[in-house]
Amino acid sequence: MSPFLLLALVSLAAPPAQSERQQPPPAPPSSQASAPAAPVRDAAVDWVVAEFDRRESLLARRGVVLQREREDLARQLAATLPLRALTPGQWAKLHDSPIFPLLDLREQALDALGPFLTRDDAQGAAAVVLHLFLRAEAGELAGAPAAERVDLLRRALTHPGLDEAVRKGWAPRLFLLLGLIAPREAPPLADTLFSLERLLTDDLPLTMRPDLHLLYQPLRELTVLDPARAEALERIRLRMLHLLREAMDALPPGKRWEAARATTLLESDWAKHAAFPAPPAADQPPEDR
């Protein structure tokens, strides 16, 4: 198993320790904590997510936080949101919080995402990405034929609203979706996967950057099959490293550790030297054999 796939599994299975959580801003006055009117403001969802982290950190300072305490806290904060009115982008934010698994919100999220799955805008892209991730996370696609999984992934990666959804932070699980296919199943998606280089801009959300290595893995394997892509692969690797280093100081401790780990992997010989010879430097002729 490749080191990248192991990292993806570890990242999903083991959330950051309490000591690694970033301190969110203080809670707003109680008058602002009441359930916002529909449509729900993004700021309301952001506050709920941050407030859970803040209060959980306070609980942790006094000792071990019981599961019941975490569930009660999640329930109390989630009650301030009309969940039925959340957009796919807002569900994506909530899914990134411990609130989501603590309250087992999967079925509610799937129901809410349904009406958006046929839309071509950023909310539609957010719905497609999260819907597919929830299905994969539950193991629903484990036995599906490779062709079906490739088609599902292609639909998400080529969605016309994907770029905007990524920029707005509505598709945080995008790179984790690439674990749906094994490297040997990636060739039908080669051009699509390499086209994701367009997302590697300075406005890529900071919290997505520690997952960049999960995109690099299939690109590397595709380059093994087609060495003509070596130049593009190296350009992408260097761009990923730039984005990771730029984000390092701004990330919360847990994400910072993940970014440092991803940086180390992208700097490794494994990443720099795939199973194809590196082209000689322009001013140096190939060595005689």
| DSSP for 92-137, written as a single string | HHHHTSTHHHHTT-HHHHHHHHGGGTT--SHHHHHHHHHHHHHHHH
- Give the model's confidence band at 38: pLDDT under 50 very low, under 70 low, under 90 confident, else very high: low
- Give the model's confidence band at 26: pLDDT under 50 very low, under 70 low, under 90 confident, else very high: very low
Structural contact between residues 266 and 214, judged by C-beta atoms closer than 8 angstroms:
no
pLDDT at 112: 95
Burial (Cβ within 10 Å: 0-12, 13-18, ≥19) of residue 171: buried
- Give the model's confidence band at 274: pLDDT under 50 very low, under 70 low, under 90 confident, else very high: low
Compare 103 and 29 and report the one with higher pLDDT: 103
pLDDT at 281 over 50: no
pLDDT at 8 over 90: no
- Give the model's confidence band at 33: pLDDT under 50 very low, under 70 low, under 90 confident, else very high: very low
Closest of 266, 174, 268, 275 to residue 224, by C-alpha:
275
Can you give the length of the chain in residues? 289
Compare 128 and 64 and report the one with higher pLDDT: 128
pLDDT at 5: 43
pLDDT, mean of residues 150-161: 96
Instruction: Give the global pTM.
Output: 0.78
pLDDT at 273 over 50: yes
- Give the model's confidence band at 66: pLDDT under 50 very low, under 70 low, under 90 confident, else very high: confident
Compare 31 and 113 and report the one with higher pLDDT: 113
- Give the model's confidence band at 275: pLDDT under 50 very low, under 70 low, under 90 confident, else very high: low
pLDDT for 176-221, tens place per residue?
999 888 888 899 999 999 999 999 999 999 989 999 999 999 999 9
Q: CB atoms < 10 A from the CB of 187, how many? A: 16
- Give the model's confidence band at 253: pLDDT under 50 very low, under 70 low, under 90 confident, else very high: confident
The H or E element that residue 31 is part of is none
| pLDDT over 90, % of the chain | 67
Query: Rounded to 5 degrees, what are φ and ψ at 119?
Result: -80, 150
Contacts of 150 (CB under 8 A, 6+ apart): 181, 185, 188, 189
Burial (Cβ within 10 Å: 0-12, 13-18, ≥19) of residue 106: middle
pLDDT at 213: 94
pLDDT at 52: 94
Query: Rounded to 5 degrees, what are φ and ψ at 23?
Result: -75, 120
- Give the model's confidence band at 29: pLDDT under 50 very low, under 70 low, under 90 confident, else very high: very low
Tokens, residue 95: 């899914």
3-state DSSP assignment of residue 23: coil
**How far lies 17's CA from each of 11, 22, 84, 254, 255, in Å?**
12, 11, 31, 8, 11
Structural contact between residues 259 and 252, judged by C-beta atoms closer than 8 angstroms:
no
pLDDT at 61 over 90: no
Tokens, residue 266: 């992208």
**How far lies 59's CA from each of 22, 56, 119, in Å?**
14, 5, 42
